Amino acid sequence: MLAVSFAWAARHTAPPTYRRRDPATSEVLQCEQCPPGTVVRRHCGPRRPTVCEPCPAGTFAEQWHWGETCRHCTAICKEKQLVRHECNSTHDRLCECAPGYYMEVEFCVRHAVCPPGMGAAVLGLRVAVAMLLTAAMATLKQ
């Protein structure tokens, strides 16, 4: 468990810290935070460092922190979404809209279909934004 902190420290500057009052002595201590992908197993004491352990399966921690729990991964992608990146100890599951759809607020909405003889100047945008061109105009611009 401590190997996580030591391995990071060997490659980087000092880890960020947090202030904590020792419950036994009331002394205010500067404790090292746990790196991404880990969680506090035991807070530091007057003569012992913070002990970190990996986040349990199905959870993650993206940043340095002093929390005793990792965040739960997003359970599933929503309708018309695909997994772009699975959850791991340092990142939540990342979902994206399926081909032919775009994100509007929290939902994937189907792209508009251009009328016959017309095409989108920029693929993947809504019709209101896409600036439809006739096939003849598109040919002239090439």
Q: Does residue 129 surpass a pLDDT of 70?
A: no
Phi-psi region of 84 (alpha: psi -120 to 50; beta: other; left: phi over 0): alpha
- CATH superfamily of this structure's domain 2-72: Tumor Necrosis Factor Receptor, subunit A, domain 2 (2.10.50.10)
C-alpha dihedral, 94 to 99 to 105 to 111, nearest 10°: 170
What b-and-e string marks burial along 52-64, b requiring 16 or more CB atoms within 10 Å of the CB?
bebbeeebbbeeb
- For residue 7, what pLDDT band results from cuts at 50, 70 and 90? low
* pLDDT 10s digits, 14-58: 899 999 999 989 999 999 999 999 999 999 999 999 999 999 999
Instruction: List the chain domain ranges.
Output: 2-72, 111-141
Q: How far apart, in whole angstroms, are the C-alpha atoms of residue 34 and residue 59?
A: 15
Q: How far apart, in whole angstroms, are the C-alpha atoms of residue 33 and residue 27?
A: 18
Percent of the chain with pLDDT over 90: 60
Q: Does residue 134 surpass a pLDDT of 50?
A: no
> Has this prediction a pTM greater than 0.75?
no
Q: Does residue 98 surpass a pLDDT of 90?
A: yes
Lowest mean pLDDT among 9-18, 42-51, 98-107: 9-18
